[in-house]
């Protein structure tokens, strides 16, 4: 009787084990279906959602490296585990931990894309790669026991190989999202670049192709391109730029004041809607001026030259000189920043990068006498934003003392250019915006003495009709 009961008990255990396996595989099937349904239940619609989703999602770049490291380690443990049982057990633990970490990373990544309104071809590929990778790891966990039992030993190895290939592909898509599709080619030597196909729009000689598109390519396309298009906006081609995003057009030809793109890039860098976002540096003054002038004059993809925009290619490259230490004036500068008048803003946390004179809060109430009060800060100011203020030609005497001035905005003022030659002592000045002023042709001739100037803007001035050939010998 005892001998007869043993086979019956053994068979019952086998039957129970078989039922448990079927339940586990059924649960895995349900879980896989749920992951595959996720993008359809919560579609990436290009719109931003809750802030908490973006907050948690931004931990994805940090969390994603853990499962990558574990998966790289796993094959080594499996090989070494054929001789040492302890390593074989460690491999099983690492596999389970990689699955949990991969699932968590997938959740954070989806929150980042859904909450931030990120879409795009590469974004979609990266998302599906993460889903396939997570499911593949789960199947590896289920199939691994069969490798040791001798039942279907090839299944686990095949799945593990597929997981590693999926990891490489998914990581490549993620790298393109983070750094942009041109990350490896941006600084490629010119002979190699000539071997690569180029976009026909970028190859022509229009002002857009030579000056506007490179700005977007260097600063914006990583988040607004084919790979990734936050808010449904793409800036990787003229057609996509003019199409706009989910909220409509971002460039209104002939109307820079109604162009959202220009508004966003000119916001304070700490503003929530400032672009470029994600900690990227602001656009240079000349880049913003190019965009504004290009929009003002019709936002054309074919026009080769803009009226009143002079780019002196022959001007010498001016090495940036650090300013002195203004730490003794820090308290006064901070009090000024909290007030309602003109402000001095730090370019960065490094004092040697200098200060920006900002008059946006005072506008037409800012006069020459107000500018003179900043003489004590003159050696530390690298950019003066005096556009649309009440300064006159008398301001040139004060500005001549701003020895480290690199960019000067005088657009929309009563400037006629009388005394413009006083700025010739400014050895760092490379940008001068005189658009919408009363600068005359005679005054514009003094621009010859400002040898370091590379970018001059004379749009909508009496001097605009002057070809200014002397200062634009190599202008586009």
Kindly state whether residues 170 and 210 are assigned to the same domain: no
| CATH code (residue 354) | 3.80.10.10
* Percent of the chain scoring above 70 in pLDDT: 86
Kindly state whether residues 174 and 200 are assigned to the same domain: no
Tens-place pLDDT, residues 7-18: 556 455 555 566
Two structure tokens written together for 78:
């499996």
Kindly state whether residues 459 and 367 are assigned to the same domain: yes
Kindly state whether residues 388 and 456 are assigned to the same domain: yes
The pTM (predicted TM-score) of the whole model is: 0.52
Give the domain extent around 429.
Answer: 327-471
Decide which of 138, 157, 179 is a domain's last residue.
Answer: 179
pLDDT category of residue 469 using cuts at 50, 70 and 90: very low
Residue 192 is predicted with a pLDDT of 64
DSSP class of 142: H
Instruction: Flag whether 213 is in a domain.
Output: yes
Q: How far is CA 256 from the centre of its chain?
A: 22
Instruction: Flag whether 5 is in a domain.
Output: no
Give the residue, 271 or 372, on which the prediction is more confident: 372
Kindly state whether residues 213 and 172 are assigned to the same domain: no
Kindly state whether residues 445 and 408 are assigned to the same domain: yes
Two structure tokens written together for 399:
């500005």
Kindly state whether residues 220 and 332 are assigned to the same domain: no
Kindly state whether residues 35 and 104 are assigned to the same domain: yes
Instruction: Flag whether 387 is in a domain.
Output: yes
Three-state DSSP at 253 gives coil
Nearest C-alpha neighbor of 225 from the set 265, 190, 257, 180: 180
Listed in order, strand segments (DSSP E) in 198-311 are: 309-311
Kindly state whether residues 168 and 97 are assigned to the same domain: yes
Question: From CA 222, how far away is CA 44, in angstroms rounded?
Answer: 18
Q: Which helix (H) or strand (E) holds 191?
A: helix 190-195
Instruction: Flag whether 3 is in a domain.
Output: no
Decide which of 118, 152, 179 is a domain's last residue.
Answer: 179
Instruction: Flag whether 1 is in a domain.
Output: no
Two structure tokens written together for 462:
């009496």
Question: From CA 71, how far away is CA 41, in angstroms rounded?
Answer: 29
Decide which of 179, 202, 226 is a domain's last residue.
Answer: 179
CA dihedral 403, 405, 409, 415 (to 10 degrees): 20
Instruction: Flag whether 151 is in a domain.
Output: yes
Two structure tokens written together for 395:
């301001």
Confidence check: pLDDT of 19 > 50 = yes
Confidence check: pLDDT of 197 > 70 = no
Q: What angle (nearest 5°) sits at the alpha carbon of residue 216, between those of residues 127 and 300?
A: 125
List the single range of 22-31, 102-111, 137-146, 280-289 with lowest mean pLDDT: 280-289
Tens-place pLDDT, residues 148-175: 777 777 888 899 999 999 999 888 888 7
pLDDT category of residue 470 using cuts at 50, 70 and 90: very low
Instruction: Flag whether 317 is in a domain.
Output: no
Instruction: Flag whether 342 is in a domain.
Output: yes
Could you give the number of structural domains in the chain?
3
Kindly state whether residues 275 and 213 are assigned to the same domain: yes
Bridge-based pairing state of the strands 343-346 and 455-457:
unpaired
Kindly state whether residues 247 and 103 are assigned to the same domain: no
Kindly state whether residues 198 and 146 are assigned to the same domain: no
Cβ distance 156 to 131 under 8 Å?
Answer: no
Q: Which of 113-122, 417-426, 458-467 has the highest mean pLDDT?
A: 417-426
**What's phi and psi for 385, nearest 5 deg?**
-100, 90
Confidence check: pLDDT of 34 > 80 = yes
Two structure tokens written together for 45:
């619609």
Two structure tokens written together for 213:
């598109």
DSSP class of 235: -
pLDDT category of residue 191 using cuts at 50, 70 and 90: low
Nearest C-alpha neighbor of 396 from the set 379, 421, 376, 377: 421
């Amino acid at each position: 009787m005892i001998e007869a009961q043993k086979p019956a008990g053994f068979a019952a255990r086998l039957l129970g084990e078989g039922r448990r396996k079927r339940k586990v595989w059924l649960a895995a099937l349900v879980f896989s279906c749920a992951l595959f349904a996720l993008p359809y239940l919560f579609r990436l619609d290009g719109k931003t959602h809750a802030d908490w989703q973006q907050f948690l999602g931004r931990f994805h770049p940090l969390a994603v490296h853990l499962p990558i490291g574990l998966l790289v380690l796993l094959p080594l443990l499996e090989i070494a585990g054929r001789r040492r049982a302890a390593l074989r057990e460690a491999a099983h633990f690492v596999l389970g931990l990689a699955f949990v970490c991969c699932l968590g990373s997938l959740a954070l990544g989806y929150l980042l894309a859904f909450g931030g309104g990120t879409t795009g071809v590469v974004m979609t590929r990266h998302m599906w790669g993460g889903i396939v990778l997570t499911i593949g790891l789960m199947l590896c966990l289920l199939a691994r026991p069969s490798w040791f039992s001798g039942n279907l030993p090839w299944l686990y190895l095949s799945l593990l190989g597929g997981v590693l290939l999926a990891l490489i592909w998914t990581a490549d898509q993620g790298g393109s999202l983070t750094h942009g599709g041109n990350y490896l080619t941006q600084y490629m030597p010119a002979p190699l670049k000539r071997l690569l196909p180029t976009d026909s729009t970028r190859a022509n000689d229009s002002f857009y192709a030579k000056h506007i598109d490179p700005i977007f390519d260097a600063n914006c396309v990583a988040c607004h391109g084919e790979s990734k298009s936050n808010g449904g906006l793409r800036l990787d081609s003229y057609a996509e730029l003019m199409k706009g995003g989910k909220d409509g057009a971002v460039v209104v030809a002939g109307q820079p004041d109604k162009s959202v793109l220009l508004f966003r890039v000119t916001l304070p860098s700490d503003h929530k809607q400032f672009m470029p976002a994600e900690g990227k540096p602001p656009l240079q003054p000349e880049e913003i001026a190019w965009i504004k002038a290009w929009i003002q004059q019709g936002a054309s993809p074919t026009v080769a030259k803009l009226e009143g925009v002079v780019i002196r290619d022959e001007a010498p490259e001016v090495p940036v000189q650090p300013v002195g230490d203004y730490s003794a004036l820090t308290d006064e500068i901070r009090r000024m920043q909290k007030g309602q008048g003109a402000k001095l803003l730090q370019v960065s946390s490094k004092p040697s990068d200098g200060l920006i004179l900002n008059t946006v809060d005072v506008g037409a109430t800012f006069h020459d006498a107000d500018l003179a009060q900043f003489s004590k800060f003159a050696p530390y100011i690298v950019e003066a934003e005096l556009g649309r203020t009440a300064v006159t030609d008398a301001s040139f005497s004060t500005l001549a003392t701003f020895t480290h001035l690199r960019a000067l905005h005088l657009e929309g003022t009563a400037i006629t250019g009388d005394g413009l030659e006083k700025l010739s002592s400014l050895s760092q000045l490379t940008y001068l915006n005189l658009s919408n002023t009363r600068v005359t042709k005679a005054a514009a001739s003094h621009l010859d003495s400002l040898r370091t100037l590379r970018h001059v803007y004379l749009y909508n001035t009496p001097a605009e009709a002057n070809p200014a050939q002397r200062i634009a010998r190599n202008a586009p």
